[in-house]
């Protein structure tokens, strides 16, 4: 699953989004979303553009909490949704048809696995370092005094760069597909849904991957050091016999 990502320059991102969408008015960042993030984790607020009648930015909790859920803890199991089954899975098909969004980032993490439990965190981003948008779905949960708005990130099959690291990756939508994904209409026609699903393909532009600090393994760490180069030889670490007893790190792209 897409379990960690970055958004290191949200202020510059705002101008980029407005330009890509041809907006006349400047977008406004939600309160508290103007700080650099180097290790965004599930249950935390993420910067989102929902498919509303107007183009604006909001902060949603990461981890979809459907309207029927008994409590918010289900969100930890719904941080991702597989593109191939959005129209069929009961947990997601309602939101695929009527509540889609963009989740903004400028990089994401996955662990490259070696022998035993050996693994190295890899940071994947655009070659030019520019920000991008994940395809997402959103929901409103009203079983508490204050309604909770949450989201999930859609994943697809990996590009050749990502495939040796993991068998899934987030769907990165280029700006030319944003308006189609953000259509505010409740889409019920099967053909129209199929057209939307056709947008959810592996990213076509160039991505790069680099080994980074193991600090990113803890959501408590959220600073530039999370992106520091990995200390040591990556191949040696992955090939070494693992004699240490450590908690198992959940893979960051295991979907529902």
Residues belonging to the active site: 2, 110
For the CA atoms of 229, 235, 239, 240, the dihedral, rounded to the nearest 10 degrees, stands at: -50
The pair phi, psi for residue 36, each rounded to 5°, is: -70, 135
Return the structure tokens found at 113.
């696995």
**Radius of gyration of the chain, Cα coordinates, nearest whole angstrom:** 18
Residue 206: is it exposed, middle or buried by C-beta count within 10 angstroms (0-12/13-18/19+)?
exposed
| 174 neighbors 138 (Cβ within 8 angstroms) | no
Angstrom distance (rounded) from CA 243 to CA 229: 24
Instruction: Encode burial over 31-45: b for 16+ CB neighbours within 10 A, e otherwise.
Output: eebeeebbbbbbeeb
Residue 212 DSSP label:
B
Closest residue by Cα to residue 62 from 115, 132, 5: 5
Instruction: With H, G, I as helix, E, B as strand and everything else as coil, classify residue 214.
Output: helix
Instruction: Encode burial over 117-134: b for 16+ CB neighbours within 10 A, e otherwise.
Output: ebbbbbbbbbeeeebbbb
Through-space distance between the first and last CA atoms of the chain, rounded to whole angstroms: 8
The pair phi, psi for residue 28, each rounded to 5°, is: -115, 130
């Amino acid at each position: 699953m897409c379990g960690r990502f970055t958004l290191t320059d949200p202020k510059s991102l705002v101008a980029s989004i407005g330009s890509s969408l041809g907006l006349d008015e400047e977008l406004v960042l939600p309160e508290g979303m103007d700080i650099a993030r180097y290790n965004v984790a599930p249950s935390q607020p993420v910067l989102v553009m929902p498919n509303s009648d107007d183009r604006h930015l909001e902060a949603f909790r990461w981890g979809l909490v459907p309207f029927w859920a008994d409590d918010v803890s289900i969100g930890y199991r719904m941080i991702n949704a597989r593109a191939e089954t959005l129209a069929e899975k009961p947990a997601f098909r309602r939101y695929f048809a009527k509540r889609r969004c963009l989740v903004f980032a400028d990089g994401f993490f996955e662990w490259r696995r070696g022998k035993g439990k050996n693994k190295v965190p890899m940071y994947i981003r655009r070659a030019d370092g520019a920000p991008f948008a994940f395809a997402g779905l959103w929901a409103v949960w009203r079983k508490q005094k204050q309604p909770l708005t949450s989201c999930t990130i859609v994943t697809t099959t990996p590009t050749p760069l990502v495939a040796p690291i993991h068998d899934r990756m987030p769907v990165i939508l280029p700006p030319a597909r944003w308006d189609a994904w953000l259509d505010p209409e409740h889409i019920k026609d099967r053909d129209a849904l199929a057209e939307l699903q056709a947008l959810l393909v592996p990213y076509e532009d160039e991505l790069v991957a680099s080994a980074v600090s193991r600090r990113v393994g803890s959501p408590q760490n959220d600073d530039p050091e999370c992106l520091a180069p990995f200390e040591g030889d990556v191949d040696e670490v992955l090939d070494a016999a693992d004699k240490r007893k450590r908690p198992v790190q959940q893979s960051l792209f295991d979907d529902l």
